[in-house]
Amino acid sequence: MTAKEKKKIDPSVHEEAAEEMGDDISRQEEEQDMAAALEEARAKLQESEDKVLRLAADFDNSKKRLERERDTSLKYAEENILKELLPGIDNIERAMDQAQEANNIESLLEGVELTRDGLLGTLEKFGVKAIDSVGEVFDPNIHEAIAMEETDAMEPNLVLREFQKGYVYKDRLLRPAKVIVSKLLGAGS
């Protein structure tokens, strides 16, 4: 190229070429930055997926452990009440042994009453209560009438005698009381 030809080349062409080269370099740097950001995002995604899998496994293990504990708890739920009842059985056995040795009915009766009171105390500790029936109005929700008896000692439809005690467990009927209900003297059958 001659000097004249060099003078004829437009300087703006050089600037455009330089700008294009700069744009190419800038685009390459941008692409590299984007590739690095993409790789970083993939790594974070992988890390998050691993955390989610670990959490899911922990949750599953916790769920299985709780189910095992619940099953064990249900299997042995009665254990505490049974342990509390054992002293009552021990007391009955002692009362029987003492009765054989002493031939004393009064001490046997006293021992049996103490044992009954201990057993009732144990049952109350677990929410079981006896139903007081004698003298109360007959209630078919908690009483089972096994007979009616004429009397002038009580008003009709009251519990005259209790044949078998009834019990409630917390707020639920465990066993109805079997009772004899009063009726008016001379009232037909």
Q: What is the pTM of this model?
A: 0.58
Residue 9 has pLDDT above 60, yes or no: no
What the block records as the tokens of 47 is 């890390």
Residues β-bridged to residue 161? 180
Instruction: Write the pLDDT tens digit of every residue in 18-60.
Output: 667 667 778 888 888 899 999 999 999 999 999 999 999 999 9
Q: Which pLDDT does position 17 carry in this prediction?
A: 63
- Bridging pattern class, strands 159-164 and 177-184: antiparallel
Residue 75 has pLDDT above 80, yes or no: yes
Instruction: Write the pLDDT tens digit of every residue in 77-125.
Output: 888 888 888 888 888 888 777 777 767 777 778 888 888 898 999 999 9
Q: Which pLDDT does position 13 carry in this prediction?
A: 57
Q: Taking residues 66-81, what's their average pLDDT? A: 86
Q: Which pLDDT does position 163 carry in this prediction?
A: 94
Q: Give Dmax over CA atoms of the chain in angstroms.
A: 150
Residue 188 CA: distances (Å) to CA of 18, 71, 90, 156, 168: 125, 57, 50, 13, 34
Q: Which pLDDT does position 175 carry in this prediction?
A: 95
Q: Which pLDDT does position 64 carry in this prediction?
A: 95
Instruction: Write the pLDDT tens digit of every residue in 131-189.
Output: 999 999 999 999 999 999 998 888 999 999 999 999 999 989 999 999 999 998 766 55
Residue at 4: amino acid letter: K
Tokens 């054989």 belong to residue: 100
| pLDDT category of residue 5 using cuts at 50, 70 and 90 | low
User: Which fold does the domain 127-189 belong to in CATH?
Assistant: Nucleotide Exchange Factor Grpe; Chain A, domain 2 (2.30.22)
Which of 117, 115, 129 is CA-nearest to residue 175? 129
